[in-house]
């Protein structure tokens, strides 16, 4: 899959993060005691997750935020080590881990979890 624009690629990334969380959320909710309580808790958690999934554009990176955590960073432009669209894990709230890209949102085919970009193999 090749995405033509950064905007389209970010929308696709958000959809992938939400889809992975929905799968996790369904597994987690099975542990609740009653069906009604389980469904309510699952729905509230899902809504909160989606509402708090944010994209924040910085000078060099696009920060993806889930609730009060940094999910990861996306390169806005090419630099000496990374290409535009590369997915980087977070090293801190304001900086990515610049050891290796975890995929590229413009090229597609990346693997992520709702908790963040996948670790290197």
Residue 79: name the closest of 56, 59, 93 by CA: 59
What is the pLDDT tens value at each position of the chain, 121 positions in all? 454 699 999 999 999 999 999 988 876 555 545 677 778 888 888 999 999 999 999 999 999 999 889 999 999 999 999 999 999 999 999 999 999 999 999 998 899 999 999 876 6
Q: Alpha helices of the chain — where are they, by DSSP H?
A: 6-29, 35-51
pTM exceeding 0.75: yes
Cα–Cα distance for residue pair 79/77, rounded to 1 Å = 6
Cα–Cα distance for residue pair 28/85, rounded to 1 Å = 32
| First CA to last CA distance, the chain | 22
Residue 3: predicted pLDDT: 47
Residue 105: predicted pLDDT: 96
């Amino acid at each position: 899959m090749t995405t033509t624009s950064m905007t389209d690629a970010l929308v696709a990334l958000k959809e992938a993060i939400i889809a992975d969380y929905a799968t996790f959320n369904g597994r987690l909710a099975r542990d609740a005691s009653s069906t009604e309580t389980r469904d309510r808790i699952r729905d509230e958690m899902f809504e909160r997750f989606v509402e708090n999934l944010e994209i924040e554009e910085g000078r060099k990176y696009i920060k993806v935020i889930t609730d009060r955590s940094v999910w990861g960073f996306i390169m806005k432009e090419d630099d000496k080590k990374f290409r535009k669209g590369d997915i980087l894990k977070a090293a801190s709230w304001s900086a990515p881990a610049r050891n290796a890209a975890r995929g590229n949102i413009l090229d597609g085919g990346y693997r992520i979890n709702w908790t963040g970009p996948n670790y290197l193999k």
